[in-house]
Structure 1
């Protein structure tokens, strides 16, 4: 499970004047199949809004692109409504909603219940006791009783049922305003899904609590290692001293995590999990007239009751900058925020527009003045809308030699330009064009539709305003934006948080409690699980790709064009794919960055950015190790203009020495920052483990080589790019031949392509002995990776490997690794394992498993994972569920649009000319536990591994590490190559 702190998006929505919306885009009412619903005229999502007799909101958005449904069940209760004495409670409850009821998750409810009641009472004693010796004694009794109760429980039956019906993305998140439960299901499994949800929300049981609580401890510790989260929590604390946005955090305080109350959690459930405070949101392939009746029947048992209104003292205006400092190991940065009215107000809608005027990725003030001109390493601004208040959030990262106060001055100077109206007169019109495209693209995704509907439901935003976005954006004038900026943005009314690189002396840590592993009983089944399995589901026939029939082919000059026609809308996506990358030329990724700062003799770099944004198009050059892809997206009406702009820039770009000097500085600063990032350090260790000291991760330019780069070096690469062989991929309204004809005139290719530069190849090394690669990092947790290189690719092994992964390490909460490491032993919040297949036939397999745990659990975690690598627990039922999940997932998967083109390229790299899913699907019935167990024993059992560990050397000793293999501590220069 996860919890969302926030999402900063630049999605443009809700720019609506009430008068216009009432006359042009309005709410209407209709009745069908005996149910009355509301809808918005002109809504491309065709969403229906029902309110059932018990107050439950149901929002249905039907579309039949693939036979699946994205389902959200949302509760208008999050950390904002946590009791002040039990912060983090909504998030606790979210975790516990996966534990079952008196009908599932238990083998014998009559025997389990008295023990759970006893645990309840013990936690109340524990909660109210301050004497540490007594607390330890009570906890010892909690641990003992929990072990007894666990003998009657069945862990993760919810996830097992979801897996068996073909569910994907089973998860949940908690934020300020909401707790949301998410599942992606086959349409054919709807009856099973609803039966499970009805039971899930009938009377949840808080079982297997103390190990789940420990997982939340681990989650809390992860936040203590997250500098970005610390910045946001500090920002909100200063911005909202009167509102729980700032007074409480989603995950809660350490003190409250140590003193949970199951009674308080239960009371919270019955207070807020009531139908008039909940919404069921579906987007996907279904008949709404049929589905609304099923949902009504499922949830009609729920009774409406008054929900306590959240009240707060309004925030007082900020009259002088409120400053705060945050410390941590990550690179320094600056965050500035301004407070605005809540999400449903017109001012919040204007804020969304203003945020896009600052940052839209191409032509915003921050984009052009701070990023394009390389005055900052990075800079962004965006709106974040909550029910009670909204926020303009701006972030900046300094270049080398720049102070955080310099960053502040630069960002605030852009706001001054807004107040003075110093921005392009056609910027708003450009935003309209881009919003048009974004809405079309967004509506293609089931999950995007459902998420937008869920967000508006839980934050109180009128869906009508979403639908009126494009029309209403054009009514906003430059004068209105200037007036708005002057009303809300001045030089004194903000919160500013300085994130310094250094030791956080205030960091807390939750100590490891003594937990005895509990039984997960993974072979047991409740009668309810059997009932869900017996509910009929419609048969769905899989659809395989036929690369010959599904892909149109044509010649565009000397290049081959592969195309899939878009018959749904006016969006096009175009790609030029080169089979060369940084392994061919280390300067290639530098040139790909350099081009964004260049102009021609007749146009500046800013002209090109504005030009692409004005026609709602974009291009990007992405360089990987062995390939480079130039990608374009836009509206078909602007296809020719898009390609012409790019071709003009590529062929005629001129050197800019000032831009190159700035780029070199930014590259060096980014590289310095990478050495302060634990994720980058882990990647460096993993690459070292797989390839040795010289590896793809450190295959980069040295500082001296960066200094030696000339503009001519990079310009030569750009000017010659079209001379190399490349495949053109097109998804759009045109046929392949029409697209090829158009491209042949726009994108000139030589008669004979130039040969690619020689490529440096990297080979994985043999994992012949246990080794420990350790990197020191100031953190509470320890990140542990097991790496083992395996044999050559064999397409015939694919079905077995996929089933093994699903069963062992990638199958969500029901996988062996998750159930053992997290559910039974409470050693980690995040854990998993995968036997990874190569992307091309010449490469090898490799195995990787992972545990993110408290440093004082490192030894236990390693021992526990090693046990699983040597002996894989057996559950024939779990294998059957894994096979059913794979079967239903493949049956209902529809690879469409440009996904067809990239599937073809992926198959081609593996030497395949067919859809490999068909082979996997047809092999499922023949696979058994015995086969995947034999695979496990052959590839993993008793084998040596390289342990890659990122942790603090103050919390992890060399003595501990050396017991697992030869200890190697590579220095940062070796790991990073500079």
Structure 2
């Protein structure tokens, strides 16, 4: 690495120079992110990458510890600590820490005894003591003060996550709030206090419950158990065991925090619009006094032995069958991972990989993929496969392994490796637009102990790889010593119900606030001026010779382009359109096979897709602009000369039918189908598709021909080409044709009114329910009401500081996720609606219903919460920037809504005029005392049906009814 030195100096009014501390940082020549890496004297690492796209920055604080370091007797500890880090410190989250502390200490001591009690009645009695003490402590607790401060500074995406080797805390903040952010985070990481413990524990239980219906989680746990049988990667999970979650240890959590949450085990990672020199001084100011640990260490484990032969295991669950095959490799910092990334794309890149060409495009199996997962101690390389209808998992396994044999023999195109690297470079450069991608790369380097020079040089090393090297590596390392997990459909008898504990809701104490919070709210950083779109200046409008409209924005920064032909017809006009778009991917032309076409696009480092929604169809093309003319000509030839054949169509129909069957086994897909049915009725986008009988009788060539009969379009282009060059190129490959008569008909998906309270219940056997309360009285949208609707959402249901989250999760521990939203239509003629949303344990359903109804009936009056909501929304709008291709889409969205201006500008102007009374009035007029349609997905046998029937009539829907296919 190259070492740089920067000196800060200031001048006094009298002209005397003051020397200020110097900060060393490391850089790597040729780094496209131009990252700086600082190390403060206490060992704290700071990674920085400047991106001036908009006046915000993504911040990560990454701690180099995760479930790998959990004590064996309290697994899930690292993840639970992550939750508790949002509860405050000695300075915030409390109105009087000195009075609160002895009560918290008493709660901690009781939990230490509680975790060893076996007798059920004794546990209930002891838990009642904890609950009672928690009520006493709660009089000093001010829940959500952290979220209130993040709201005050305009942060977005406040969150955190834990995995094997890391715990990462995320905030996306305005560029003028860096000092406030640093002040809050430095206190949080040095002075964390564990409070609100038992209600947050319930939120973790609910997160655990959600995972019970996720068969993928079970598969990965089973795979890692085989590959890492003597290492925590395989012996314990991040979420922890049910037994350990029910028997937590505050003492262990505190010990863990003090051991690993130390500056020489942490990195601050920043990407966005900021001054690195000023920012490192601020970070040093607030984090520099954080005491390093002189005894930092991690549990050490003996090397995990390689498998001597393949080993199989099976997991069962309701979701679709599939298979995973995995191999163990060296740690993430090993250069093995360069080769594994290339091999993964040689096998499966979505276009020209061995799996793509040999398996998924000819539909020998339904889905196939390959990837590597690099961890600090080890990595794993894995294959995934989903069977066709009636296909055995063993056949899928054999087909995947046969492709591995082809890889070992070098039986693939000589130029595939170079094409893989070119496309990986393209994806990386495209990803630099997003700050979150930049921080992820820097954060991973820190967590996995990668030298930054090694990280930056990855693509160049891959570019030097030869086919012979890839083949030799595969033969040496990808052998028969693999783990294989068969995911079969069946009843998982290992899932057990968790009994709902008796929790007394803690007060939210919204009338209180800490001095720390008040100082943040009262701070006055230099404001950022908003920049809204002017559709007369920020894009160019042109015409093609055939009269089609062109929306154009030139890219002056790189050689990448995005292009869309947008046709105002979709599945509302003809439900066959989406089927036609899907079938296109499996056919060729008279002169090229489907595989040849996909390979050609991949070689050009360009990609295409055809997307269909209710009211539009888009033909999209993107990639390297130097190859734009060739890619467009290829796409035109493909769509206009696509050739159907009976064999491919029959296979396609089989794949489509299997995908629908698999969707019916998936909890989230069932809930989506129920939601569509509950909002739109039987005629909705989920049900309005070709059924099996229609698929069998259809003429496949007629389906493909629909894609060249879409009619006139609007052309969207963002790229380096001039407008003249663009129109010339497109004119040579024009996609304008005579619209088919069927597209002139249209039946819109229309939201149903909810004139009475009723329950729609659809079945799914799980330990939790998904529930929405939906209201619609066919109110049409008025642009002038947008500001108050947006502010109501921010105040009532939109985030962690909103009323719904505070009351249902923080105060009562009823759910992991809860929210509410007043929805404004995205096109003229649609209606406004309102819905609540929650995932909760089956026996908590009525608690959630009652609390939601209480909030909807008497919307709480919280002046401080209102002020923070408005402040947050103003800052988000001021720092929002619509750029590049998004400008063109924003113009189309405005047109669909019947306006010709950037709606955000109107909202920003009107927000300062709105009062809490305006928001409360809006809520009372639109959601209070209204009839609701309850949409509940769950197992009726586990629900309190008598209580539901008292609310309103229950309409039982079958799985086939909500899917309609």
* Bin for the TM-score computed over the shorter chain: over 0.9
Residue 288 (1) aligns with residue 286 (2): no
Deviations 1:146-170, CA, capped at 9 Å, x for gaps: 0111111111111101111111011
Residue in 2 that maps onto 1:973: 960
The separation in 2 between residues aligned to 1:451 and 1:536, in whole angstroms, is 31
Residue in 2 that maps onto 1:15: none
Q: CA deviation at 1:783?
A: 1.0
Compute the RMSD of aligned alpha carbons: 1.5
Question: Which of 823, 831, 841 matches 2:828?
Answer: 841
Residue in 2 that maps onto 1:714: 703
Question: Which of 396, 409, 422 matches 2:398?
Answer: 409
Deviations 1:233-263, CA, capped at 9 Å, x for gaps: 1111121111111111001111111111111
Question: In the alignment, is the contact (CA less than 8 A) between 1:615 and 1:638 conserved in 2?
Answer: yes
Residue in 1 that maps onto 2:17: none
Question: Which of 477, 484, 491 matches 1:503?
Answer: 491
Question: In the alignment, is the contact (CA less than 8 A) between 2:367 and 2:385 conserved in 1?
Answer: yes
Q: CA deviation at 1:315?
A: 1.5
Residue 308 (1) aligns with residue 308 (2): no
Deviations 1:57-88, CA, capped at 9 Å, x for gaps: 01111121211111100100100011111111
Residue 482 (1) aligns with residue 500 (2): no
Question: In the alignment, is the contact (CA less than 8 A) between 1:325 and 1:499 conserved in 2?
Answer: yes
Residue in 2 that maps onto 1:115: 103
Residue in 2 that maps onto 1:895: 882
Deviations 1:464-519, CA, capped at 9 Å, x for gaps: 233223322221111111111111222x3111111111110111332211100001
Question: In the alignment, is the contact (CA less than 8 A) between 2:713 and 2:736 conserved in 1?
Answer: no
Question: In the alignment, is the contact (CA less than 8 A) between 2:68 and 2:233 conserved in 1?
Answer: yes
The separation in 1 between residues aligned to 2:684 and 2:532, in whole angstroms, is 37
Residue 680 (1) aligns with residue 669 (2): yes
Deviations 1:171-225, CA, capped at 9 Å, x for gaps: 1110111001000000111111111111111211101110001110111111112
Residue in 2 that maps onto 1:824: 811
Residue in 1 that maps onto 2:436: 447
The separation in 2 between residues aligned to 1:948 and 1:330, in whole angstroms, is 22
The separation in 1 between residues aligned to 2:244 and 2:405, in whole angstroms, is 43
The separation in 2 between residues aligned to 1:403 and 1:145, in whole angstroms, is 56
SS in 2 for 1:905: helix
The separation in 1 between residues aligned to 2:53 and 2:213, in whole angstroms, is 41
SS in 1 for 2:337: helix
SS in 1 for 2:549: strand
The separation in 2 between residues aligned to 1:971 and 1:165, in whole angstroms, is 47
Question: In the alignment, is the contact (CA less than 8 A) between 2:203 and 2:809 conserved in 1?
Answer: yes
Residue 518 (1) aligns with residue 500 (2): no
Q: CA deviation at 1:432?
A: 2.0
Q: CA deviation at 1:885?
A: 0.5
Q: CA deviation at 1:586?
A: 1.4
Question: Which of 725, 734, 737 matches 2:721?
Answer: 734
Residue in 2 that maps onto 1:388: 377
Bigger mean CA offset, 110-119 vs 268-277:
110-119
Q: What is the 5 A alignment of 1:766-915?
A: 766-790=753-777, 791-810=779-798, 812-915=799-902
Q: Which runs of 5+ in 2 are unaligned?
A: 9-21
SS in 2 for 1:406: helix
Residue 918 (1) aligns with residue 905 (2): yes
Bigger mean CA offset, 631-640 vs 307-316:
307-316
Residue in 2 that maps onto 1:564: 553
SS in 2 for 1:173: strand
Deviations 1:933-978, CA, capped at 9 Å, x for gaps: 1111111111111111111223114323312211111223322222
The separation in 2 between residues aligned to 1:870 and 1:735, in whole angstroms, is 57
Q: CA 1:965–1:729 in 2, change beyond 3 Å: closer, same or farther? A: same
Q: CA deviation at 1:750?
A: 5.1
Q: CA 1:656–1:466 in 2, change beyond 3 Å: closer, same or farther? A: farther
Residue 49 (1) aligns with residue 37 (2): yes
Q: CA deviation at 1:29?
A: 4.1
The separation in 2 between residues aligned to 1:766 and 1:629, in whole angstroms, is 31
Q: CA 1:59–1:661 in 2, change beyond 3 Å: closer, same or farther? A: same
Q: What is the 5 A alignment of 1:320-469?
A: 320-469=309-458
Question: Which of 660, 664, 670 matches 2:649?
Answer: 660
Q: CA deviation at 1:28?
A: 4.2
Bigger mean CA offset, 75-84 vs 946-955:
946-955
Residue in 1 that maps onto 2:460: 471
SS in 2 for 1:648: helix
Question: In the alignment, is the contact (CA less than 8 A) between 2:57 and 2:435 conserved in 1?
Answer: yes
Residue 761 (1) aligns with residue 775 (2): no
Question: In the alignment, is the contact (CA less than 8 A) between 1:440 and 1:569 conserved in 2?
Answer: no
Question: Which of 49, 53, 59 matches 1:71?
Answer: 59
The separation in 1 between residues aligned to 2:399 and 2:945, in whole angstroms, is 46
Q: CA deviation at 1:127?
A: 2.0
Deviations 1:787-808, CA, capped at 9 Å, x for gaps: 1113111111100000001111
SS in 1 for 2:832: strand
The separation in 1 between residues aligned to 2:460 and 2:750, in whole angstroms, is 56
Question: In the alignment, is the contact (CA less than 8 A) between 1:553 and 1:737 conserved in 2?
Answer: no
Q: Which runs of 5+ in 1 are unaligned?
A: 1-25
Q: CA deviation at 1:556?
A: 2.5
Question: In the alignment, is the contact (CA less than 8 A) between 1:554 and 1:740 conserved in 2?
Answer: no
Q: CA 1:562–1:640 in 2, change beyond 3 Å: closer, same or farther? A: same
SS in 2 for 1:924: helix
The separation in 2 between residues aligned to 1:373 and 1:134, in whole angstroms, is 62
SS in 2 for 1:43: coil
Q: CA 1:381–1:971 in 2, change beyond 3 Å: closer, same or farther? A: same
Q: CA 1:138–1:755 in 2, change beyond 3 Å: closer, same or farther? A: closer
Q: CA 1:715–1:762 in 2, change beyond 3 Å: closer, same or farther? A: closer
Deviations 1:377-427, CA, capped at 9 Å, x for gaps: 111111111111111121111111101111111111111111111111100
Q: CA 1:754–1:777 in 2, change beyond 3 Å: closer, same or farther? A: closer
Question: Which of 910, 922, 941 matches 1:954?
Answer: 941
Question: Which of 689, 692, 700 matches 2:681?
Answer: 692
Question: In the alignment, is the contact (CA less than 8 A) between 1:28 and 1:41 conserved in 2?
Answer: no
The separation in 2 between residues aligned to 1:596 and 1:699, in whole angstroms, is 21
Question: In the alignment, is the contact (CA less than 8 A) between 1:330 and 1:676 conserved in 2?
Answer: yes
SS in 2 for 1:36: strand
Question: Which of 525, 546, 552 matches 1:537?
Answer: 525
Residue in 1 that maps onto 2:221: 233
The separation in 1 between residues aligned to 2:463 and 2:731, in whole angstroms, is 36
Question: In the alignment, is the contact (CA less than 8 A) between 2:560 and 2:625 conserved in 1?
Answer: yes
Q: What is the 5 A alignment of 1:244-263?
A: 244-263=232-251
The separation in 1 between residues aligned to 2:325 and 2:175, in whole angstroms, is 45
Q: CA deviation at 1:145?
A: 0.7
Deviations 1:764-789, CA, capped at 9 Å, x for gaps: 22201111111121111111111111
The separation in 2 between residues aligned to 1:299 and 1:389, in whole angstroms, is 32
SS in 2 for 1:963: helix
Residue in 2 that maps onto 1:204: 192
The separation in 2 between residues aligned to 1:870 and 1:441, in whole angstroms, is 48
The separation in 2 between residues aligned to 1:793 and 1:641, in whole angstroms, is 44
The separation in 2 between residues aligned to 1:214 and 1:893, in whole angstroms, is 36
Question: In the alignment, is the contact (CA less than 8 A) between 1:191 and 1:535 conserved in 2?
Answer: no
The separation in 2 between residues aligned to 1:882 and 1:349, in whole angstroms, is 46
Question: In the alignment, is the contact (CA less than 8 A) between 2:567 and 2:712 conserved in 1?
Answer: yes
The separation in 1 between residues aligned to 2:483 and 2:257, in whole angstroms, is 35
Alignment TM-score, normalising by the size of structure 2? 0.97
Report the number of matched residues. 949
Residue 494 (1) aligns with residue 479 (2): no
Alignment TM-score, normalising by the size of structure 1? 0.95
The separation in 1 between residues aligned to 2:417 and 2:544, in whole angstroms, is 36
Question: In the alignment, is the contact (CA less than 8 A) between 1:701 and 1:977 conserved in 2?
Answer: no
